[in-house]
Structure 1
């Protein structure tokens, strides 16, 4: 029998995380989140997360620092942050992006506190 379950989430009503992200559709091994018009500011604390992230920038600009390498993200940019990799980011201009995380970031407190070095 085929799987007929479908997950649909409207971003406007999606649950919001502690850092402003909106949690979109989630499955057993992957989930999506939206960063919508995040304002410019200081760099975020350096972190290592217990999940892998793939992202796509929709608007704005940000700098991603990954293991000491700085990458400029802007509309159309894609990126990967491997699980356990030291990273930080700084938003330079109101930033909108969609990210997929595997396993889901919002499950089992993976998104609650950055794992510090």
Structure 2
């Protein structure tokens, strides 16, 4: 049996883009993003699936050429290998899960 993992905010490691790496298991990892308004980043494809939830602010997601605006309470899925990019319209707090896990130092880049 695995011992439950608790990652306190004080112990969470920060990535190069400001993401905080939270609890991580064998099949899924959790991250928290706090970002100020910015333009779209470059389009990327990841080797993992990402689901996210907007806690506050507004986020634009360009998923394979289709742009959607996400507001507090909205969630999304980016399938593994799908080209996507983000634009922060209003400062955001976002919680994101990746499967398989994207961990600190694996690829310290935004999803």
Give TM-score, length-normalised by structure 2: 0.92
Give the C-alpha shift of residue 13 in structure 1: 2.7
Instruction: Please tell me whether Structure 1 or Structure 2 has the larger radius of gyration of its CA atoms.
Output: 1
Change (3 A) 1:107 1:15: closer
Q: 2:99 aligns with which of 74, 80, 102?
A: 102
Task: Answer yes or no: is 1:45 the counterpart of 2:45.
Answer: no
Moved over 4 A (4+): none
Distance in 2 (alpha carbons) for counterparts of 1:74 and 1:9: 26
Correspondence 1:50-65 to 2 at 5 A: 50-65=47-62
SS of alignment partner, residue 75 of structure 1: coil
In structure 1, the gaps of 5 or more residues are: none
TM-score of the two chains, using structure 1 as the length reference: 0.87
Structure-2 change in CA distance of 1:54 and 1:11 (3 Å): same
Residue of structure 2 equivalent to 1:112: 108
Unaligned residue ranges in structure 2 (runs of 5+): none
How big is the shift at 1:4? 5.2
Once superposed, what is the RMSD of the aligned Cα atoms? Answer: 1.6
**How far 1:19 moved relative to its partner?**
1.0
Q: Using a 3 Å threshold, how does the CA distance of structure 1 residues 50 and 4 change in structure 2: closer, same or farther?
A: closer
Counting matched residue pairs gives 110
Residue matched to 1:19: 17
Question: How far apart are the structure 1 equivalents of 2:23 and 2:91?
Answer: 24
